[in-house]
Amino acid sequence: MSEIDYEDYSDDDQQEPRKDPVRARLKQLEKQNAELSRLVEQANSAQRELTFTKAGINPDEPRFKYFLKGYDGELTVDAIRQAAEEAQLLTPQNPVNDSDKAAWQQSNRIAAGAESGSDGPSWMKRIADAGSEDELMAVFAEAQAQGIDLGSI
């Protein structure tokens, strides 16, 4: 028998390990998915912080930290502001004063009257001409609908 050198015939050096292209693509997509998920989470966090800031809540203030972590309501400026007011973290916004509202209504009536060119009804004359209580109440109702307080005339 002859001696054969088996080391010379080994195919280990010539063959590279086979790579599965599907598995390689899957790993690439998983890596992309993880990166995109991280970016979406960052964007959502930034959007949440911006909404709280617009509502008047400073995320850096210690008194708001628990509110920021615990808030799970609707993420709108109005809803967040209302919840913060209920928690007495923010002072309620003052609504328009009734006297301011009346002044605006009066200026609008004056402007509308200046544009129409008519003097409008004489309220005192209409009150004097009212023949019954129902007619008098109708005059007062019409004046009130136009924003006129006949009690101060």
pLDDT by 10s per residue, the chain, length 153: 556 555 555 555 555 567 889 999 999 999 999 999 999 999 999 999 999 899 888 888 888 888 888 888 898 999 999 998 888 888 887 655 667 777 778 877 777 765 554 445 577 788 888 888 888 888 888 887 777 777 666
Please report whether residue 5 resides in a domain: no
Does the reported pTM lie above 0.75? no
Domain boundary among 54, 86, 118: 86
The Cα 44–Cα 145 span in angstroms is 48
**Of 30, 52, 86, which residue constitutes the final position of a domain?**
86
Inside any domain, residue 115: yes
Whole-angstrom Cα distance, residue 49 to residue 45? Answer: 6
Query: 30, 51, 86 — which closes off a domain?
Result: 86
Residue 9 lies in a domain: no
Distance separating alpha carbons of residues 146 and 139, to the nearest angstrom: 11
Query: Which domain does 30 fall in, by range?
Result: 20-86
CA–CA distances in Å: residue 114 to residues 1, 9, 63, 123: 127, 110, 53, 18
Q: Are residues 67 and 121 part of one domain?
A: no
Quick check: is 130 in a domain?
yes
